[in-house]
Amino acid sequence: MARFDEVKETFWGEGRYGVQPALTDAAVRDAERRLGVRLPASLLELLRVQNGGQVAEAWNAFPTEVPTSWSVNHAPLDSVLGIGPSDDWMSLLDTGCLVEEWGLPSPLVLLSGDGHYWIALDYRACGPSGDPSVTWFDVEDGLELPLAADFRTFVERLASAASLDPDDADGDCSAR
């Protein structure tokens, strides 16, 4: 398992797709007020390095014991939403309308996904001030899969999709 600080140094991928303006303390306070939760310190650490965007290939998958609609052995993490008001990109601030649109439980904060699936901070057990677990939600299959007890553990267990599923590194589910 990689240590959080080691992953943090190389977490973000190339390009500016999905990157929000640099994160400020005021933006964090506003986001927590609007979302109605306290965001995990480890998430904020990553977002202070880069406020959302593409995840480096070394960390673009979370290993699973059961198949997902994406792969026989992992959930994808191609990008992480940042905090910001950009009209160009989705943001953590869009969680409320996306949860409603896709019929997801609440309270969640969506970290990554495309509507058919989401990876989210799950506040249902810990409450808005607690340390949320990380859960995979497959909307089409109705699958809800706990991934990690907290965000830091989630990050520390990330791996390369190619290392988990070398014959299917692009996420083609037909290999199942």
Q: Alpha-carbon distance 146 to 8, whole Å?
A: 22
Q: Token pair of 164, please? A: 């988990």
Greater pLDDT, 87 or 139: 139
Supply the mean pLDDT for the chain: 91
Q: Alpha-carbon distance 146 to 57, whole Å?
A: 22
Residue percentage of the chain with pLDDT more than 90: 82
Q: Can you tell me the mean pLDDT for 82-89?
A: 84
- Record the pTM: 0.91
Q: Token pair of 131, please? A: 């340390």
Q: What integer pLDDT is reported at residue 167 of this predicted model?
A: 62
Q: Token pair of 141, please? A: 């299959």
Q: Can you tell me the mean pLDDT for 67-77?
A: 92
Cα dihedral sign for 163, 4, 117, 126?
Answer: positive
3-state secondary structure of 47: helix
Q: What integer pLDDT is reported at residue 70 of this predicted model?
A: 86
Number of C-beta neighbours around residue 42 at 10 A: 18
CB 62 within 8 A of CB 147: yes
Q: What would the pLDDT profile of 112-165 be if each residue is shown by its tens digit?
A: 999 999 999 999 999 999 999 999 999 988 889 999 999 999 999 999 999 997
